[in-house]
Structure 1
Amino acid sequence: MMETEFTKRRRTKQKHPIRNTILAVIGLVVIATAAFLYINHEGYAAKNPNDMSLTEVMVSSSDSVAQVGKKLQSKGLIRNGRYLSRYAKRYGAKSITAGTYLFSPVQSIDNVYQELAQGPSEEPVLDSAYTYIDGNKTDEQTAQTLADAANVSKSGLLSAYTDKDLMKEMKQKYPKLFLNAKSGLTLYDLVMPGIYKIKDEKSAKDLVRDLIKRTDKEMQGYYSELKENGLPVSTAVLLAENGGKKEFNRRLAFIKKIASYAQDLKSQYGILPSISIAQAIHESNWDDSDLSSKYNNFYGVKTDDTTAGKSVVLQTQEVENGQTVTKNARFAVYDSYKDSMKAHAKTLVQGNTWNSNQFKDVLAATNYKDAAQALYDDSYATDPNYPAAIIRIIENWNLAKYDK
């Protein structure tokens, strides 16, 4: 029987089970592979490209990449710590340098790994879409970076920071930003340090307007406390990349904790409370050092007393011949912070065993600036920058109000 055209077409349309099964399996593999790559791509990408907050992360010398990954995941900085381990395994795990790092949810796993590989630095590793403003740098030091990011001139940006008309405009628009402002304030002093996604601007002034707008937005939760305590906004701005509101509250609580007793000591020994408080802050790093938090020694007081429980040997840094050196030293241990503050006041009044008038200039000073300089002149401190550091703390936190 001759095969018709119709039967030919039917036969060609018949199914081929084995071939179709193979094609189906291949299709599933392709889909699964694509899904796997997509999931992994998502895992390696930034957790939140719009969350430009910064978080300090302490990394110890004993931490493995996996342990660091868990820390970052627990702080909400990356999606899953396993992705960091996989990345390190793929590209060859490098040794991690111990220290304090700044990380952000805008960082990809690649950014995080690069930062860990290079060690702690002043700036987090970021993709080109982001710009970092370091609060420890001057307007001149950051000007070129910001100018390039916004496509404006560097000289125009520097001029905008001190432009009188722009300053007046910003005061009218954001009056709370200028509450308790220190003399000589520039608009750069009100620029929040941190990560920015800067777009092209028409002018340098427009860039500054955007920077100040962000500061006002982030300062909303601070304004009432700043007003209540007579503090300038610039004080809170400085903490933006060092703990933010939580650290601001902790520092303010520390001041309030010791201020009343510092005033009591003034009536007994004549020491300006602003000096007592500022030295306690500076020497103890806001009660964040082992010497203060564990041993109630706020002022780095040394001793020769080897009686058990009366002293402890710790490392300290001192300036010798213009160089900072690390040494082991024996420090006094106190039962309470009040004992430490009282011992400090007595030392200033009574001097040392070899010179009872050692700190006569500190005692004679009637204002915090003269007293701060006298601390160096009378050899309380060996660092020539010590007076400036004490004065800066007093002015940033309005400690002079406790002298009245």
Structure 2
Amino acid sequence: MEMEFKKRRSNKKKHPIRNTILLILAILLVGAGTFLYLNHRGYSAKNPNDMSLTEVKVTSSDSINQVGKKLQKKGLIYNAKYLNRYAKRYGAKSIKSGTYLFSPVQSIDNVYQELAQGPGEQPVLDSSYTYIDGNKTAEQTAGTMADAANVSRSALIAAYTDKDLIKEMKSKYPKLFLNAKSDITLYDLVMPGIYKLKDEKSAKDLVRDLLGRTNKEMGSYYSELKKNGIPVSTAVLLAENGGKTEFDRRLAFIHKIASYAQELKSQYGILPSISIAQAIHESNWDDSELSSKYNNFYGVKSDDTDSGKSVVLQTQEVENGETVTKNARFAVYASYKDSMKAHAKTLVNGNTWNSSQFKDVISASNYKDAAQALYDDSYATDPNYPAAIIRIIENWNLAQYDK
């Protein structure tokens, strides 16, 4: 037995070359696997759990690579090269310019498809995510949400106005109902945006989860909302449109012009809430070229051809029921105060053919009557104009400046 054992041992030979080759192959396989994994990850979602939305502006001159760099800089994709490769692999489509909403939960495929379809539509998402559009009503979104959470659509709509559930939510999340209107529904407090909904036991459980997320995301807003008497629903509506950054910018704009609006009231009798709300509405929160560059908050046109007092810009107007783009000459002001003062004088002095044109606006004792008078006295031709002004005033508690 001993001799046989030794014989077997003596026949065992080492194969250093074969072992080295196997080791090299193993390293190559691991390296290839790592490369494929990293390459695949580059096309996948940057963060499947980050459902935040970020605005990205795409211009007509942007290439797909330039768009990719913008997305990479904002932390929405791993690297611009993956979007560029995807476009080359599947055939570059025409990219439409505009302002998009993107999220880290979107894959390169999602991002590319969204760029191809253009802005204005909802974000392109995988089937595991649900998008809630803040511009839609409870009835319009109920079907999508109910299907995703596997609950009854009609039960979900009913849950939004269920008195017992509202009482329960007020008790659990009292800050959510800060400065709330008396007719508020729970849907008014549902954050628009991207959700990864799970199967729920009931529609009420779904609403509880939805408001839980809202309360969590509103944490950084509560102090400013309380200080300025602004309802939480106002901040909720901005979730898709810049979030906290945009909320702070808009509030800063109000604070910038509010004191001068109050000063104008003492001189001309214009309600500050009306002056502020019209400036917001006409300038799109000081985001228009006319307001931000030329201090023209109210879209005032001019016949003065002096380059320092007027500027020609494109504007959209409705003619025979169709929207057309035309060039028009607008007034240029040295400061925003000059613009606000000119607006106040126009309301007080009327126009060349009727000095009392806006007398009802001046004589109104509250913002609702004044807003309606802007239409009745032909300051605005849009019948929805008074409602838009009133909505701005109430959403941002501008009536506080009338006191």
CA apart distance, 1:321: 4.4
Task: Count matched residues.
Answer: 400
Aligned to 2:230: 231
Aligned to 1:126: 125
Aligned to 1:79: 78
CA apart distance, 1:354: 2.1
* More divergent stretch after superposition (32-41 vs 70-79): 32-41
Distance 2:41 2:396 in 1: 44
- Is 1:15 paired with 2:18? no
The answer to whether the 8 A contact 1:122-1:134 is kept is: no
* SS of equivalent to 2:315: strand
Quick one: which amino acid aligns to residue 129 of structure 1? Answer: S
The answer to whether the 8 A contact 1:319-1:382 is kept is: no
- 5+ long unaligned stretches in structure 1: none
- Is 1:104 paired with 2:103? yes
**CA deviation string 1:353-397 (max 9, x = no partner):** 122222122122221111112212222122222111111000000
Distance 2:49 2:16 in 1: 52
Quick one: which amino acid aligns to residue 258 of structure 2? Answer: A
Distance 1:274 1:118 in 2: 40
* SS of equivalent to 1:97: coil
Aligned to 1:56: 55
Please report the TM-score for the alignment, with normalisation by the length of structure 2: 0.95
- Is 1:356 paired with 2:376? no
Distance 1:119 1:7 in 2: 78
* More divergent stretch after superposition (24-33 vs 222-231): 24-33
CA apart distance, 1:165: 0.5
The answer to whether the 8 A contact 1:320-1:382 is kept is: no
Aligned to 1:287: 286
* SS of equivalent to 1:58: strand
CA apart distance, 1:36: 1.3
- Equivalent residues in 2 for 1:35-50 (5 A)? 35-50=34-49
* More divergent stretch after superposition (251-260 vs 368-377): 368-377
* SS of equivalent to 1:213: helix
The answer to whether the 8 A contact 1:280-1:298 is kept is: yes
CA apart distance, 1:25: 4.8
- Is 1:308 paired with 2:307? yes
- Equivalent residues in 2 for 1:123-202 (5 A)? 123-202=122-201
CA apart distance, 1:29: 3.6
- Is 1:259 paired with 2:283? no
Distance 1:24 1:12 in 2: 20
Distance 1:8 1:203 in 2: 73
Aligned to 2:323: 324
CA apart distance, 1:41: 1.1
**CA deviation string 1:58-97 (max 9, x = no partner):** 0001111111111011111111111111111111111110
Structure 1 residues 122 and 201, CA gap change in structure 2 (3 angstroms): same
The answer to whether the 8 A contact 1:46-1:107 is kept is: yes
* SS of equivalent to 1:51: coil
**CA deviation string 1:178-211 (max 9, x = no partner):** 1111131100000011111110000000000000
* SS of equivalent to 1:314: strand
Aligned to 1:247: 246
Distance 2:20 2:177 in 1: 73
Aligned to 1:341: 340
- Equivalent residues in 2 for 1:202-217 (5 A)? 202-217=201-216
CA apart distance, 1:248: 0.8
CA apart distance, 1:123: 1.1
* SS of equivalent to 2:314: strand
* SS of equivalent to 2:246: helix
Percent identity over the alignment is 81
Distance 2:49 2:109 in 1: 17
* More divergent stretch after superposition (317-326 vs 334-343): 317-326
- 5+ long unaligned stretches in structure 2: none
**CA deviation string 1:187-242 (max 9, x = no partner):** 00000111111100000000000001111111111111111111110011011111
The answer to whether the 8 A contact 1:236-1:248 is kept is: yes
* SS of equivalent to 1:231: coil
CA apart distance, 1:32: 2.6
CA apart distance, 1:14: 5.6
* SS of equivalent to 1:308: coil
Distance 2:202 2:77 in 1: 36
Distance 1:88 1:291 in 2: 37
Structure 1 residues 376 and 319, CA gap change in structure 2 (3 angstroms): farther
The answer to whether the 8 A contact 1:262-1:276 is kept is: yes
Aligned to 1:401: 400
Distance 1:230 1:132 in 2: 30
Distance 1:362 1:253 in 2: 27
Quick one: which amino acid aligns to residue 305 of structure 2? Answer: T
* SS of equivalent to 2:400: helix
